[in-house]
Chain A
Amino acid sequence: MLLAENLVKTFPGVRALDGVSLTLRPGSVHALLGENGAGKSTLVKLLTGVYRPDGGRITFDGDERHFAGPLDAQRAGIGVVHQERNLIPAFSVAENIVLHHLPSRGGRLDKRRMRAEAVRCLELLQVELDPDTPVSRLSVAQAQLVEIAKALSLDTKVLLLDEPTASLTGDEADRLYSVVRRLRDAGHAVALVSHKLEEVFAVADTVTVLRDGRSVAQDAPLTGYTQAQVVDLMVGRAFASIALPTRTVDGEVTPALQLSDVSTALGHRGISLVVRPGEILGLYGLVGAGRSELAKAVLGLERITSGTVLIHGRPARIRTVGEALHRYRIGYVTEDRKGEGLFLDQPVSRNIAVTVWRRLARAGLVRDRGERELAGTYADRLGIRISSPRQPAGQLSGGNQQKVSLAKWLAAECDILIVDEPTVGIDVRTKAAFHELIAGLAADGLALLLISSDLPETVGLADRIAVMNDLRIVGELANDHDYPRMSQQIIRLIHTAETVSAA
């Protein structure tokens, strides 16, 4: 049994954890829930020796422990699967699983023992994988299972999973959770961090909810709660769904963005869609359907091989993002805000003004004051919480970062906006505010293409929904916002398309 009592962790200026306790029992799955920044990751890092607690204590099977580092924690029997991938692509499955304690014989790698240990871990999961396959050849879901196998090596008794299904499809997630159940039945203690409440309720036995570094529900049986109650606990107040402003779209007006029979070098075929000013077109599909890639083709980052793109009714050949931005006023809010949306070390003011330096510059020179004023204006308008425009973007919370990554396109006065998975990894409350914001932009007359894998989000926001599967548009629906009916239709569209392409 892993017991954490009254853990305290302070970072300069922030108390990340303030007296949080956690109990993980063998043969049980414990859910650890909370909004972004509530302290879940910090807690996981304390339990696995990445950070050292400033107060409180950790006991494991009755002994007090001070872990010197992650490897120390794993030797003690605590394994962790972090949100990010930690595998080495060029190495084999077996090498990755035993990476941190490669068996050696006389200074040379003992391949037989390495394979045996890897096979043992894979058998625990009842997963059939060739241990000699390089990880680079595995699917995302298979790689995730290898991560778990890696966490299970060295006789792990406690397994911590941080958002294990973030990049998996529904089927893959189901399979992963059947593995989790098997581990539980074999007597492992499992802690599960996830934003997906349906999954949590399906698999976990007990729950701890964190808010602002404290636990608001501690070690409670999950059966005592409904999903709505858990959300209330996470958010800290009864959470009412926000009534979005209603819009009327003029169906006669010239479309802001129109694709006719577009094919790309990546394999998109016959893509046709229309987005009018003041309208939100939802582009729904599973991960890997080719939606972001289509957006990038419109921006000139991927090659369009045939078909036409019309901007405000005129044919456009876009070759660079600069051209898309300055000539056609198209903005693209990327799904990967840390990797390609933001300059994390740079001030918020520069992150917002980067698209408008061309306009701000006088004789090639940009004044800092003009830039900071602009940043201030958009911080106010979008409710971005910054202490100063000079604050580095990397210091902001996920939701605020996302707003910064949107703000630069609004500052550039774009009238066509492609928004890609705008609320991935964002907590419930900020998510609602973001939806309101997007609806407000459409009400202001922008044309929006909303790429999302979040069905409630798509049905809640879009005027029409185009469904994409395997690089094709498989259907388009007028949205009547009747969630059960719309979601059924959409899922049926994807499903039938799959059977057709399989036949």
Chain B
Amino acid sequence: MTAQLETPAPPDAPPRTPHRVPLWANPRVGLVVLLVALVVLFSVLRPAFLNTRLTLTPLQSDISVYLVVGLAQLSVLSLGHMNMAVGRMAATSAFTMGLVHDKLGAGLVLSLIAGLAVGALLGALAGLIISRTGVNSFVVTLAMDFALAGLITILYSGVTGGVAFPTMPAGMSELRSDTFADYCIGDVCGPRVPLVVPFAILAALLVGLLFRFSRLGREILMTGANQRAAELSGIPTKDRIVQAHAVSGLLAALGGFLLAANNGAFSASLGDSFLLPSFLAPVLGGTLLAGGAVSVLGTALGAALTQVIYKGLNLLQFQLDQLQLYIGLVLLAALSLDRARHVLAERRGNRA
């Protein structure tokens, strides 16, 4: 039992190098590879997959809708919250657009603005309830979804006597059927890109700007990362929660508008299919459910991947139930990956 004394090691070990995520572990790279592989696979199995008019143009419209819907969910995932009412907020906003046009005779722009405003208000209301009561966002928005579903049925039967508005604002049908190829200056015509695509791109750019560079977006992310620390750093966290949910409602309304344009009607069932894809796009793209980190580019890739799978399986004549099965499996796999990434990040952070 003797004391062994070693020569002292240098007191200052070099600081740890920060971990860089290896390229293969970057979810975005994985998505691009998967996307390309699937497109190749589907084109080989069904050459019709590369038909512009039949497949590629509608595919772009669908991706646009679900990108915007994914961004609506991303806006609250940034807080570590959820918006379970994303579909019904879209439907309520779409009802507003139809009402403002059909009963008040407003044009396309005015209807759109009214619808977006209602969406933002609904989101803000959800955020207000969550931040004042402290009740979990999942429960609050789920209850809201339920209430709005009832409200929409009552409103449509009361106002239209059916489940859809009979008329659409002027311009909506062009938004549905036209591509930029239909508009020519002299002999130069645009690409075969549907008119709804720029709406989605603009939304993605603005949301990217919000979370990447704006003080508001950063403070929302910090609230999501650690609300207590954000509060103690002087961030008005309750206001940020309300604002993030308002953005979510606004984007849900935009998604509803784009889908109405694609479908050609403001109807009561609009937005029924939004919930699952709204999570699928951001989570596939690497947005953490825990809050504090978002990826707009990843969400775009996630939306593209989901819609390519839908379209491809559809062309291969899978039934709707089978489609749902596969899409559900994709989400489960993505969520497991999300958890694995989180655990990995934690392990790397906690080696003390």
State the A residues within 8 Å of B (CB): 11-14, 16, 36-37, 41-42, 206, 211-212, 214-221, 224, 233, 235-237, 299, 301, 320-322, 324-326, 332, 334, 339-346, 350, 354-355, 357-358, 361, 364-368, 385-388, 390-392, 394-395, 397-398, 408, 412, 429
CB distance from B242 to the nearest CB of A (A): 15
Contact with A along B271-289 (1 / 0, CB 8 A): 0000000000000000000
Contact indicator B8/A341 (Cβ below 8 Å): no
Cβ contacts A to B, 11 pairs, < 8 Å = A11-B351, A12-B19, A41-B352, A219-B1, A220-B1, A237-B8, A320-B234, A320-B236, A332-B232, A344-B349, A395-B348
Is residue B115 within 8 Å, beta carbon to beta carbon, of the partner chain?
no
- In the bound complex, residues from chain A placing their C-beta under 8 Å from that of B3 are 217-221, 224
Contact indicator A218/B4 (Cβ below 8 Å): yes
Q: 3 closest A-B pairs (Cβ-Cβ)?
A: A220-B3, A394-B349, A325-B234
Cα–Cα distance between A394 and B13 once the two chains are bound (Å): 18
CB distance from A107 to the nearest CB of B (A): 31
Contact indicator B234/A321 (Cβ below 8 Å): yes
CB distance from B236 to the nearest CB of A (A): 6
Cα–Cα distance between A365 and B213 once the two chains are bound (Å): 5
Cα–Cα distance between A366 and B63 once the two chains are bound (Å): 31
Is residue B219 within 8 Å, beta carbon to beta carbon, of the partner chain?
yes
Cα–Cα distance between A364 and B15 once the two chains are bound (Å): 34
- In the bound complex, residues from chain A placing their C-beta under 8 Å from that of B13 are 212
In the complex with contacts A345-B225, A388-B18, A391-B18, A364-B292 CB distance below 8 A:
no
- In the bound complex, residues from chain B placing their C-beta under 8 Å from that of A13 are 16-17, 19
Contact indicator B236/A343 (Cβ below 8 Å): no
Contact indicator A395/B16 (Cβ below 8 Å): yes
Contact indicator A358/B215 (Cβ below 8 Å): yes
CB distance from A158 to the nearest CB of B (A): 18
Cα–Cα distance between A335 and B228 once the two chains are bound (Å): 13
CB distance from A358 to the nearest CB of B (A): 7
Is residue B192 within 8 Å, beta carbon to beta carbon, of the partner chain?
no
- In the bound complex, residues from chain B placing their C-beta under 8 Å from that of A357 are 215, 218-219
Please tell me which one of the listed residues B209, B213, B226 contacts residue A343 in the complex, with CB atoms under 8 A apart.
Answer: B226
- In the bound complex, residues from chain A placing their C-beta under 8 Å from that of B235 are 322, 354
State the B residues within 8 Å of A (CB): 1-6, 8-9, 11, 13, 15-19, 209, 213-216, 218-219, 221-222, 225-226, 228-236, 292-293, 345, 348-352
Cα–Cα distance between A355 and B17 once the two chains are bound (Å): 26
Contact indicator A206/B1 (Cβ below 8 Å): yes
Minimum CB distance partner of A337 in chain B: B229
Which of A224, A342, A364, A408 neighbours the largest number of chain B CB atoms within 10 Å of its CB? A364
CB distance from B132 to the nearest CB of A (A): 15
Contact indicator B349/A392 (Cβ below 8 Å): yes
Contact indicator B222/A321 (Cβ below 8 Å): no
Minimum CB distance partner of A324 in chain B: B234
Contact indicator B349/A364 (Cβ below 8 Å): no
- In the bound complex, residues from chain A placing their C-beta under 8 Å from that of B11 are 212, 235-237, 429
- In the bound complex, residues from chain B placing their C-beta under 8 Å from that of A361 are 214-215
In the complex with contacts A346-B225, A365-B215, A12-B1 CB distance below 8 A:
no
In the complex with contacts A346-B292, A386-B15, A397-B352, A366-B229 CB distance below 8 A:
no
Minimum CB distance partner of A385 in chain B: B15
In the complex with contacts A14-B351, A390-B18, A340-B1 CB distance below 8 A:
no
Contact indicator A334/B8 (Cβ below 8 Å): no
Which of A301, A345, A346, A391 neighbours the largest number of chain B CB atoms within 10 Å of its CB? A345
Cα–Cα distance between A326 and B226 once the two chains are bound (Å): 21
Contact indicator A321/B231 (Cβ below 8 Å): yes
